[in-house]
Amino acid sequence: MVACVGAACNFERDYEIAQEPLFREIELCVRGSDYGATSWTTRDQAEQAAARLGLERGRRLLELGAGSGWPALFLATLSGCDVVLADLPLSGLRIARERAARDGLDSRCSVLAADGAALPFADRSFERIHHADVLCCMDRKREMLCECRRVARAGARMEFSVISLAREPAGDDERRLLQQSGPPHPDAGVDYAVLLKECRWTLLERIDVTGEFMRCMEVLIQESHARRAALVELLGDEDHAERLERRRCTCAAVERGLLRREIFFAQAAGPAARHGVGLA
C-alpha cells in the first residue's frame, strides 16, 4: 500500500479564496452550494444525509473537518438541528462563524479548533456525527473513527463521505498519476467497512457516489475554462494551471478505476444498536 499518494492541500488559503464571488459562482454550478466548500458533497447528498441522520430541531450534530461551514450550516438551516463545527484551519472556522451569524444560526452553532483524531469532548457527548471527505485528507483514519465512536452515544448515527483507493496502482505511471491527483491521503490501508467494525461502528449503508464525483469534477473543469481569464487574474497563471491539472489527473485516476468516492452510514455499536436503526 502507498501511504500518502495525492497532491497536498492548503486549506487555510483555500477557504479565503473560496469566498471570492467568482469561486462561489463556480461552486453553485458544481455542487449547488455557496459556502466555500472543498469537499465533493453536493446539495442533494447533503439533503439525503439530513434524512438518513434524522436531523431535526433539538438534535445536536458534530461536524468534523467542517471547513467554512459546508454542509453543517446548510444542515442546521434545513433541519433546525444544533451544530458543533470542528476543524484545524482558523480561516475556515472564522468564515463559518460569520456565515452562521448572517444566517441567524448563532444560538444553534458553536465553532472550535480541534483535531478529529483527538477530540476535546467527553465520552458519549453526541448522537449525530458527520464528516465530508475528511478521512482522505488525513493519515490517522482509525484514530478519528475511534474518537468518533468514543464521543458517540450508544445507537448514535454517523455519516461520512470519503475518496479512497479502489485498487493498487499498477506501476510507476499510475503511482505518479495518484501523486498528481487529489486528495492527499486516499489510501486507508484496509477497507472502510473493516475500519468501522474495528472502531465499533455497525455499517448500515454504503453508497458508491463515484459517478456523481466525476460529474462534479467535469463541471468544475468546464466552468474553470469558461472563466479562465478571471481565474488567472485572481490566482495567477501557475496556481490556476496547477489546480486544473490536479482535477484532470483526478478524473483520469477515477476513469482508470484507481479512485472512488463513497458514503458510509453507520450506527454506534452498543446496547441501543441491537434493536435497529431507529433508536438514537
Ligand X SMILES: C[S@@+](CC[C@H](N)C(=O)[O-])C[C@H]1O[C@@H](n2cnc3c(N)ncnc32)[C@H](O)[C@@H]1O
Contact residues for ligand X (CB under 6 A)? 11, 37-39, 41, 64-67, 70, 87-89, 92, 115-117, 132-134, 137-138
Shortest distance in whole angstroms from residue 31 CB to ligand X: 9
Residue 225: how many other CB atoms lie within 10 Å = 10
Shortest distance in whole angstroms from residue 170 CB to ligand X: 27
Shortest distance in whole angstroms from residue 135 CB to ligand X: 9
Residues 6+ away with beta carbon under 8 Å from 98: none
Please say which residue, 160 or 269, places its beta carbon nearer to ligand X: 160
Please say which residue, 39 or 250, places its beta carbon nearer to ligand X: 39
Please say which residue, 34 or 87, places its beta carbon nearer to ligand X: 87
Shortest distance in whole angstroms from residue 11 CB to ligand X: 4
Tell me how far apart the alpha carbons of residues 62 and 65 are, in angstroms, rounded to a whole number: 10
Please say which residue, 18 or 258, places its beta carbon nearer to ligand X: 18
Q: What share of the chain is helix, strand, coil (3-state, %, to 5)?
A: 50, 20, 30
C-alpha dist (Å) from residue 117 to 86, 140, 225, 254: 11, 7, 38, 28
Shortest distance in whole angstroms from residue 59 CB to ligand X: 19
The residue length of the chain stands at: 280
DSSP per position, 133-202: S-GGG-S-HHHHHHHHHHHEEEEEEEEEEEEEESS---SHHHHHHHHTSS-S----SS-HHHHHHHTTEE
